A = this chain, B = another copy of it.
Amino acid sequence: MNYQSLTQEEAKREYGKLLAEYEAYKKEGLALDLSRGKPSAEQLRLGDGMLTILSGEDDCVSESGFDCRNYGQAYGLPEAKRFFSRFTGVPEEQIIVCGNSSLNIMYDAVVRCLLYGAGPGSRPWCREGKLKFLCPAPGYDRHFSVTESLGFELIPVDMTPTGPDMDAVEALVAADPAIKGIWCVPKYSNPTGVTYSEETVRRLASMKTAAPDFRIFWDNAYAIHAFDPAEDEPLADIFALAGQAGNEDRIFYFTSTSKIVFPGAGISMIAASAPNLALIKKTMAVQTIGHDKLNQLRHVRFFAEEGALARRMAEHGAIMKRKFTCLFEGLRRGLGDSGVATFTEPKGGYFSSMDVLPGCATRVFELCLAAGVRLTQVGATFPYGRDPEDKNLRLAPSFATDEEVSKASAVLACAAKMAALEGRI
């Protein structure tokens, strides 16, 4: 039954039923967690063979004869660059291979812009007074935190089913030279699961910006993370499109193996145009003695065999598809035709984004928490942690078991319906 059309009497009766259902959930003593995009034990196990793939001095030597146990190769092993190049399509010579946290290299990239400038001819942003950054929302909280922490004003832009609202983006960046960049998760976006359309990528790559040193932070964290390889959503080549528009310097491209092998012990990369890369290397040569090359070599060796990476990602995808199927089915079953919530059904990545009725998200979060179901903090997907309409919830079913996801989605649907009725009874 659609909750819109209920009389007050019907609403009261319905709420009574929901309350009984909810109290029953509470009695189960649940401890379920859909708050964070962590791979499950089942997924981690897929990578265990990498742990012992290097065993001694004979197999720690790179293709070029370099002993990866020692100092050197500060910008990454050539074969590790090739590894990233193969699945991102970015040419090897544009890539620097880094440590285990791509978030860290994004933070460092912003700091570099602040202290040294964004590229040749750009002066340090910290000398420019007020600075702003575009934040497609709902989006990834940790992106927003980086620019908030570093003193930028965060400007929200709506996410649409084809990516950020490009009319709004174009108008903002054309008018305001203080807007220095935009955060993007272009494929299976966190949390809506959207893959940017080719038109969106083209417009980002070619739009006119008032800031001559505007930068797109292109965090392609889920580049090969389709649930089903046959249903993969292709992403347009941002470097190619930016190159056509003469804007290659606009792009900082990031990805990592955090969701390919081990989240806590992966390798990452930054890619940029040749002029940007020269500046990055110059600074990085001062900043670090180099990144962990043994771990780079582990990854290269683990995926050395033709097709090994694609097979592995298909295994990850199958596990994720199971979890998301449990989530979607549980929500559909629970919500019925109540019309009190919508949720995205991505084809890859780690998240679904749920909108409940405006003003209800905090209440739904609290009801879930009291019943032992932890969701991502409400507002986390918006700049400054504030959801202006208090309606968005991020759902991350990867870490829980199938049964836990099904149960959690039932509780969540019940809570969404309760919250929707509470204003009316």
Contact = CB atoms under 8 A, between A and B. Distances in A.
Interface of A: 36, 38-39, 41, 44-45, 47-48, 51-52, 54-57, 60, 67-73, 99-101, 103-104, 107, 111, 114-115, 126, 142, 145-146, 149-151, 258, 262-265, 283, 286-295
Contact of A265 (B38, B115, B293): B293
Given A70-B44, A115-B111, A295-B265, A104 B289 contact: yes
A292 B99 contact: yes
A294 B286 CA distance: 26
B54 A51 contact: yes
B103 A287 contact: yes
Given A101-B289, A286-B145, A262 B51 contact: no
Contacts of A71: 36, 38, 263-264
A267 to B, nearest CB: 10
Contacts of A47: 69
Contacts of A295: 265, 292, 295
Given A44-B67, A70-B262, 5 more contacts: A48-B56, A51-B52, A99-B99, A142-B289, A258-B289
Contact of A262 (B99, B100, B104, B294): B294
Contacts of A293: 264-265
A263 B263 CA distance: 23
B52 A55 contact: yes
A131 to B, nearest CB: 12
A51 B295 CA distance: 10
A103 B288 contact: yes
Contacts of A60: 51
Given A51-B54, A292-B295, A286 B70 contact: no
Contacts of A145: 286
B44 A69 contact: yes
B99 A286 contact: no
A286 to B, nearest CB: 4
A47 B57 CA distance: 10
A111 B113 CA distance: 13
A354 B134 CA distance: 55
A100 B292 contact: yes
